[in-house]
């Protein structure tokens, strides 16, 4: 039995996230319908983590078991022939038997994109959060510094998810704000993420960029562990899973 590791790119606009949810269109469901057409048996695909409805990926990782002997390169072409235009397998390789896309991951990197100008962009409507008011990106970076390191991120967790995780402690190793004219991008790398954690961080840092929160307020929000003190949960279309490191 082979254990195949896939790297997948997708536009999540039309999908209800990664995870199978009944008859709803999801990335996992679409892959589990396409792959058996090539390997000639049912598969259960394991993703590195769930992405929410409307969220995108450049480097989602997944693995599945197969008895097929088709080489990885040919598998890519075969699977992609059965996938819709919004989803593509961009890399495939044989992995060790004990490789697990979720539990073997060392860290993940997400990018959150903001369009910061008065006018909206039809081309970026599914790729970025449109914030009209000018953002003070140095203030956002100052606020972000308080979130680096190992902390309890309960204040940046969806309340609906709080009961489903054993701990809300995570370690952020990179949280960087980059600006190129009207495009502001947040890059976040951590050993794990809570549900809506990146979007909650993005929403809070935008409040700092609008001077509705002081950079030091972010430290207080983190210490009080109270989600209601933070900024809004940023919309999903700006979020993209960039890389999973093993």
Q: At 38, which helix (H) or strand (E)?
A: helix 36-39
pTM of the shown model: 0.94
* Equal CATH topology for 2-95 and 107-245: yes
- The pair of three-digit structure tokens given for residue 103, joined into one six-digit string: 């539990």
Q: At 113, which helix (H) or strand (E)?
A: strand 107-116
In this predicted structure, the answer to whether residue 226 has a pLDDT above a threshold of 90 is no
Domain ranges of the chain: 2-95, 107-245
For 2-95, give the CATH class: alpha beta
Strand partners, 116: 131
In this predicted structure, the answer to whether residue 162 has a pLDDT above a threshold of 90 is no
Read off the pLDDT band of 85 (50, 70, 90). very high
- Rounded to an integer, what is the distance from CA 5 to the centroid of its chain? 18
Model pLDDT, residue 198: 97
Would you identify the CATH topology of the domain 107-245?
Alpha-Beta Plaits (3.30.70)
By CB atoms closer than 10 A (0-12, 13-18, 19+), residue 124 is: middle
CB atoms within 10 A of CB 2: 15
Is 52 a residue of the active site?
yes
Kindly write down the DSSP assignment for every residue of 167-233, as one continuous string: --EEEEEEEEEEEETTEEEEEEEES---TTHHHHHHHHHHHHHTTSS-HHHHHHHHHHT-GGGS-PP
Model pLDDT, residue 58: 97
- Give the mean model confidence (pLDDT) for residues 198-212: 97
Place of tokens 């951590």: 190
- Tens of pLDDT, residue by residue over 36-83, are 999 999 999 999 998 999 999 999 999 999 999 999 999 999 999 999
Distance separating alpha carbons of residues 55 and 242, to the nearest angstrom? 11
- Catalytic-role residue among 11, 23, 52, 217: 52
CB atoms within 10 A of CB 37: 11
> In percent, how much of the chain has pLDDT > 70?
98
Q: Strands, E, within 137-226: which ranges?
A: 149-152, 169-180, 183-190
Model pLDDT, residue 158: 80
Model pLDDT, residue 161: 65
């Amino acid at each position: 039995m082979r254990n195949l590791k896939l790297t997948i790119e997708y536009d999540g606009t039309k999908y209800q996230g990664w995870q199978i949810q009944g008859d709803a269109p999801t990335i996992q469901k679409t892959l589990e319908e396409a792959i058996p057409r090539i390997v000639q048996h049912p598969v259960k695909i394991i993703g590195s983590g769930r992405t929410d409805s409307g969220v995108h990926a450049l480097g989602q990782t997944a693995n599945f078991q197969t008895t097929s002997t088709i080489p990885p390169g040919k598998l890519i072409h075969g699977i992609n022939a059965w996938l819709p235009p919004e989803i593509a397998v961009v890399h495939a390789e044989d992995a060790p038997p004990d490789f697990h896309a979720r539990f073997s991951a060392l860290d993940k990197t997400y990018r959150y994109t903001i369009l910061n100008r008065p006018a909206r962009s039809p081309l970026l409507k599914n790729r970025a959060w449109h914030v009209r008011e000018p953002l003070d990106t140095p203030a956002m970076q100052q606020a972000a510094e308080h979130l680096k390191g190992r902390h309890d991120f309960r204040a940046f967790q969806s309340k609906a998810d709080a009961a489903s995780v054993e701990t809300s402690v995570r370690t952020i190793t990179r949280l960087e704000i980059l600006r190129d004219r009207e495009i502001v991008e947040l890059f976040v790398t951590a050993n794990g993420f809570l549900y809506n954690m990146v979007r909650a961080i993005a929403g809070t840092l935008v409040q700092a960029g609008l001077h509705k929160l002081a950079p030091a307020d972010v430290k207080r929000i983190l210490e009080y562990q109270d989600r209601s003190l933070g900024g809004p949960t940023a919309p999903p279309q700006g979020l993209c899973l960039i890389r999973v490191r093993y």
